[in-house]
Homo-oligomer: A and B are copies of this chain.
């Protein structure tokens, strides 16, 4: 790479940090990349850090010492997050989303990568200090959100299936009871797709009684893995008995009235939990 002036270094360094979240980058690396003294690099990083923190892009942690360096931790600004959540609730209340049977059409939202990335950033900010090693979701609709969170936390995603796939080698399967339909179901995960002892964030697009989430918790124990948290985009409010307790939701669906064509969606518990993490 050719020698750059400060202005050029700032552009390249910003791109580099954004592409390497949660990774420790040594000053030496930047010093060699830009053929510049470590003192200049430190000054550059101070500028990047200031803007990242002011604009709610993230934290830039400095790790001192010989093996030290700098680490970019994606975060969000609490008021921007709150505004986003309200806007999403408004979108979800659009009556054209009502499907026969009182279901809610969400594929447009789940299929919009920019929206998934924004929500992924929200969850990554909330779980930034929980030492998440991996993300687990169940096929199909949770996958985009799981990958978006995985991007910002820089951790891999394991996909649980509701069937047995013979093509992935040794598989661990469990039976679980769907909380809402009370039916017995099966979920499976390839043995090699999750490391033993991993600290795992469970992700799904929608949670009713929490049967699927509870199934994933049970599946994790088969892998001797830990539950770092449970994150869902939307939770249903009218649930008599919740099968999991400690979860985070962006939005809460309290009513789908087919007759009056009315959907009621309110913010979930995410924003309050974020404020606790941010100490606000």
Please give the residue numbers on chain A whose beta carbons come within 8 Å of chain B beta carbons, in ascending order: 1-2, 4, 6-8, 10-12, 14-15, 18, 47-48, 50-52, 54-55, 57, 99-101, 103, 105, 107-108, 111-114, 116-117, 139-140, 143-144, 147-148, 150-151, 154-159, 161, 166-169, 190, 192-193
Contacts and interface: CB of A to CB of B under 8 A. Distances in A.
B154 A114 contact: yes
Contacts of A159: 107, 111, 140
A8 B107 contact: no
Contact of A11 (B8, B48, B107): B48
Nearest to A10: B10
Nearest to A193: B107
Q: Which of A2, A12, A111, A161 has the most CB of B within 10 A?
A: A111
A92 to B, nearest CB: 15
Contacts of A55: 1, 12, 15
Q: How many copies does the complex hold?
A: 2
29 contacts: A6-B7, A8-B51, A10-B10, A11-B14, A12-B51, A15-B55, A15-B57, A99-B168, A99-B169, A100-B166, A103-B167, A103-B168, A105-B168, A105-B169, A107-B168, A107-B190, A111-B156, A111-B157, A113-B147, A114-B154, A139-B140, A140-B140, A140-B161, A143-B143, A143-B144, A143-B147, A144-B147, A147-B147, A147-B148
